[in-house]
Amino acid sequence: MQVTMTVNGAEVTADIEPRLLLVHFLRDHLGLTGTHWGCDTSNCGTCVVWLDGEPVKSCTVLTAMAGGHEVRTVEDLERDGELDPVQQGFIQCHGLQCGFCTPGMMMTTRALLDRNPNPSEDEIREAISGQICRCTGYSTIVRSVQWAAAHDGDREGTVPAGSTS
Amino acid sequence: MTVTEPTATPEFVDNDQKPVGHGRMLRKEDPRFVRGLGKYVDDIQLPGMLHLAILRSPLAHARIVSIDTSAAEAHPKVKAVVTGAALAEQNLAWMPTLSNDVQAVLATDKVRFQGQEVAFVVAEDRYSARDALELIDVEYEELEPVIDVRRALADDAPVIRDDLENKANNHCFDWETGDATATEAVFDSADVIVSEDIVYPRVHPAPMETCGCVADYERVDGKLTLWCTSQAPHAHRTVYALVAGLPEHKIRIIAPDIGGGFGNKVPIYPGYVCSIVASLVTGKPVKWMEDRTENLVSTGFARDYVMRGEIAATKDGKILAIRTNVLADHGAFNGTAAPIKYPAGFFGVFTGSYDLQAAYCKMTAVYTNKAPGGVAYACSFRITEAVYLVERIVDCLAYELDMDPAELRLRNLIKPDQFPYETRTGWVYDSGNYEPAMRKAMEMAGYDELRREQAEKRDRGELMGIGVSFFTEAVGAGPRKDMDILGLGMADGCELRVHPTGKAVVRLSVKTQGQGHETTYAQIVAEEIGIPPADIEVVHGDTDNTPFGLGTYGSRSTPVSGAAAALVARKVRDKAQIIASGMLEVSVADLEWVKGSFQVKGDPTSAVTIQDIAMRAHGAGDLPEGIEGALEAQVCYNPENLTYPFGAYICVVDVDPGTGQVKVRRFVAVDDCGTRINPMIIEGQVHGGLTDGVGMALMEIVAFDEEGNCLGGSLMDYLIPTALEVPDWETGHTVTPSPHHPIGAKGVGESATVGSPPAIVNAVVDALKPYRIRHADMPLTPSRVWDAMQGRPTPPI
């Protein structure tokens, strides 16, 4: 079947098997390998991307379901050569080690901060509770999110018009 | 020398403030990871690449009657279907394990655990390969499985390993350490003896990235390139050469970015061998990536020790001896990845951090119809089990003596003047200063105040527990006279080249899986040679481009390879000093090293930088007599001893008396890993290990039903902590350098995984003291805690 969607701001049309999972479409067909495949059962969250601005687990979304919608992946966080404060926060606060869960964690974080610019620690933990990190023990991820929240304001005006963030 | 530093607070120093050497430097690898530009195995796409999928046994123990692959072969997108029988024709159906046992690549005669590899399909895409698995028809004759480890040696137990000559039972090996007679004598005359049955259940490392590879065999030049999730690429290369008969110089193993390892990515799995065979057969590159279930049911598990612990003491709390009897479940094949003379890994350090008069361990290992493995999940070669045993049995003693568990430990810790300390099982602890670490943890936790709070809460019927553990680790395997894996000595090489413009490349034999080697090794070299870390490229994970060494596991990178990095830099610096003497026209002895430059003693204006020297080393000018051009060196470091990091942990839990739910409220971890290279990375390693501890203590178990069905085969069943199950970690440290490591560093990657489970279990059992409970086994899920509260503390297996 043919499917058309917007991925990171660009329209994409492809012939796919109806059963193709969005995570495999992004990775294997579009080469957007920042989104990872970790568990098959929606437990680990390494595959989190945005579908119309909402974080979803792309291992349990059919590519066909994304047809006509907007998908945003980790590759779109950096804009005009400038890292998103969330990306900077993860670097500054050692919010990653092996890096495998990181793209999903950052996509959830960006969505959280867009809705709640000053989340409490409990709210941050709740927001990322559908995702697993095996390396960091989460404290540094929490601090990374807090760092991003504190620095989000620095970036106002630099986000291109039409950005979903 | 022991320096007790103030507790580090979260601070985010930018690189400019400490551009060289040790310090809280941000990681060099992060800019690619946060952009989604990490390069993991599954990210590799090669032209014409095919996909491999593995058919696995649904049964734990069964004879294969027949396999019909015709329908799968007829699938239009399938390129090959291979069974064990086909591999047997090439003598490839079996492969050696890292413990000198054999393991089936694809089953030929029987399947011996649920999830065992039976056949593989190679197809044009991953979905078609999976489709074709459904078309393979296998007829099995079911056999009685051996699941209960306690029944494995029963006379009527079915024999699992009838592939081994004259094998008439399920016995795997016996092992003992210590002095049985001396220990018995101490026990016979002791005031107090406490015994407890302590189970460390089977758990799984479950890294977020599963295992997989891309095999690419170039037919014309005969070169095999294998991109692989390997923590030990050089060891893998040699094993492939020995097993498959491929010439070693025609094998290149590349471990690209690895999404967590924790020991899960040390062994060679059948899937890797199948992929190599598939590439040989099809002439195309072949990718194989496990799904999560395959990872959980078939790859290296951890623990699975059924232990009886006994401790002898005086009535005033002087610990005299520890004795243990262990029944070890090794699964269907002995796939333990440990130095070959250590079939039980380093379990011999079960004497812990205490000055004992005697100790003895007797172990029996058996085969069962479960997946092979045993050494994984940041266990430091079975020290997790050893530390859990000793720290649990010491708490049982405290319970019987009605003594405070922290006080009991303080009375028995090895004293600073006893180091180097030889334990009753023959391990020589290199350095330690235990009491300050324990006191510091108690101070950070506010131990006395916590006990007061607990007393008040108990009066109100609330269940609050405080758990203490003190651990000593043995890491950095190891001295090659004692330690090898399949005959390969456990040394590590390191090569350093300084380019003409003063930038450098350092090549490692070890491989990060998230530990941050690209940063810390740049820091180690920077400290020694004065080139900023940003100017030092760290190359690792590619056997064609790095010196030989045994890889990253058992917290061995810093103790072994880190030492190699420091020594190779010193070797280069020594040469640089000779070149500098020529440049400054003074004798070598008249020069002194001042961070990045050689200066004429007493004349700071006469100096040349390492960058100046590098250009001279490669330039057209004269060099001192006998000195070759270029500025580079290589070393191979053979450690003279292991290093022995230690730590004191205190955990505070609240238990809901209505549900048995445990909440970890606080966790204080004081670690001493010797000289600290990058405190930010060390704290991150500790945080991760503490989270492992919460998982094992409260949530994680790979259980089986009576038929051998794995009950932990997905992340819906195998529960791993999320951000909601863990507290904000409180870390502190002391610094007691290793006397034999060139920079005094000891290794820390597994300390917290080793040390934290007993602290958490001790806290839960402490909370349940009003119920007169002395022990309850992991995982302390609400139902198991509830059972314990009702007086029915059941073993988990």
Cross-chain Cβ contact A97/B515 below 8 Å: yes
Nearest to A136 among B262, B687, B722 (CB): B687
Count of other CB atoms within 10 angstroms of residue B189:
9
Which alpha helices (H) appear in B485-620, and where do they start and end?
517-529, 563-584, 610-618
Q: Name the residue with tokens 């022990």.
A: B775
Residue A44: list chain B partners with CB under 8 A. 208, 292, 715
Q: Which pLDDT tens digit goes with each residue over A33-80?
A: 999 999 999 999 999 999 999 999 999 999 999 999 999 999 999 999
Cross-chain Cβ contact B208/A46 below 8 Å: yes
Chains A and B: how many Cβ contacts under 8 Å? 181
Specify whether the CB–CB gap between A125 and B60 falls below 8 A. Answer: no
Closest-CA residue to B93 (of B217, B273, B252, B264): B273
Q: Name the residue with tokens 């006893």.
A: B418
Burial (Cβ within 10 Å: 0-12, 13-18, ≥19) of residue A104 = buried
What confidence score (pLDDT) does residue B159 get?
98
Residue A157 has pLDDT above 70, yes or no: no
Minimal Cα–Cα distance from A68 to chain B, Å?
Answer: 24
Q: What angle do CA B70, B76, B77 make, to 5 degrees?
A: 105
What confidence score (pLDDT) does residue B767 get?
98
| Residue B274 in tokens | 């199948």
What confidence score (pLDDT) does residue B2 get?
41
Minimal Cα–Cα distance from B137 to chain A, Å?
Answer: 24
Give dist(CA B42, CA B214) in Å, integer.
Answer: 8
Minimal Cα–Cα distance from B721 to chain A, Å?
Answer: 7
B292 CB near a chain A CB, below 8 Å? yes
Confidence of residue A160 (pLDDT cuts 50, 70, 90): very low
What confidence score (pLDDT) does residue B22 get?
63
What confidence score (pLDDT) does residue B23 get?
85
Closest B-chain CA to A37: B209
What confidence score (pLDDT) does residue B11 get?
35
Specify whether the CB–CB gap between A28 and A20 falls below 8 A. Answer: no
Residue B684: list chain A partners with CB under 8 A. 94, 97, 135-137, 140
Minimal Cα–Cα distance from B41 to chain A, Å?
Answer: 11
What confidence score (pLDDT) does residue B249 get?
97
B34 CB near a chain A CB, below 8 Å? yes
Q: Which pLDDT tens digit goes with each residue over A121-155?
A: 999 999 999 999 999 999 999 999 999 999 998 76
Cross-chain Cβ contact A142/B728 below 8 Å: yes
Q: Which pLDDT tens digit goes with each residue over B360-395?
A: 999 999 999 999 999 999 999 999 999 999 999 999
Size (chain B), residues = 797
B13 CB near a chain A CB, below 8 Å? no
Give dist(CA B350, CA B340) in Å, integer.
Answer: 19
Query: Taking phi first (over 0 means left), then psi (-120 to 50 degrees means alpha), and beta for anything else, what does residue B253 get?
Result: beta
Q: B292-330 burial, b for 16+ CB within 10 Å, e for fewer?
A: bbbbbbbbbbbbbbbbbbbbbbeeebbbbbbbbbbbbbb
Residue A165 has pLDDT above 60, yes or no: no
Residue A162 has pLDDT above 60, yes or no: no
Cross-chain Cβ contact A20/B127 below 8 Å: yes
Per-10-residue mean pLDDT of chain B, 797 residues long, equals 38 40 87 98 98 98 98 98 97 93 97 98 98 98 98 98 97 98 98 98 98 97 97 96 90 98 96 98 97 98 98 98 98 93 96 98 98 95 98 98 98 98 98 98 98 98 98 96 92 97 98 96 95 96 97 96 98 98 97 94 96 97 94 97 98 98 98 94 97 98 98 97 98 96 96 98 98 97 96 85
Residue B721: list chain A partners with CB under 8 A. 132
Cross-chain Cβ contact B728/A121 below 8 Å: yes
Nearest to A97 among B684, B690, B728 (CB): B684
Closest A-chain CA to B204: A134
What confidence score (pLDDT) does residue B244 get?
80
Nearest to B726 among A17, A87, A138 (CB): A138
Cross-chain Cβ contact B690/A137 below 8 Å: yes
Minimal Cα–Cα distance from B508 to chain A, Å?
Answer: 18
**Adjacent-strand bridge partners of B313:** B192, B319
Cross-chain Cβ contact B36/A32 below 8 Å: yes
What confidence score (pLDDT) does residue A158 get?
44
Which residues 6+ apart lie within 8 Å of B358 measured at CB?
B178, B179, B182, B183, B185, B186, B320, B321, B424
Residue A147: list chain B partners with CB under 8 A. 12
Minimal Cα–Cα distance from B358 to chain A, Å?
Answer: 38
| Residue B207 in tokens | 């890294």
Count of other CB atoms within 10 angstroms of residue B614:
26
- Three-state DSSP at B312 gives strand
B47 CB near a chain A CB, below 8 Å? no
Give dist(CA A35, CA A44) in Å, integer.
Answer: 12
Cross-chain Cβ contact B715/A93 below 8 Å: no
What confidence score (pLDDT) does residue B12 get?
34
Helix (H) or strand (E) holding B186: helix B180-189
Residue in A91, A94, A105, A106 to test binding to B, most B beta-carbons within 10 Å: A94
Cross-chain Cβ contact B293/A40 below 8 Å: yes
pTM: 0.96
Cross-chain Cβ contact A90/B30 below 8 Å: yes
Residue A163 has pLDDT above 50, yes or no: no
Q: Name the residue with tokens 């058996």.
A: B366
Closest B-chain CA to A97: B514
Minimal Cα–Cα distance from A127 to chain B, Å?
Answer: 9
| Residue A14 in tokens | 């492809």
What confidence score (pLDDT) does residue B700 get?
98
Cross-chain Cβ contact B207/A91 below 8 Å: no
Cross-chain Cβ contact A129/B724 below 8 Å: yes
Residue in B124, B208, B294 to test binding to A, most A beta-carbons within 10 Å: B208
Give dist(CA B598, CA B517) in Å, integer.
Answer: 28
What confidence score (pLDDT) does residue B145 get?
98
Cross-chain Cβ contact A33/B208 below 8 Å: no
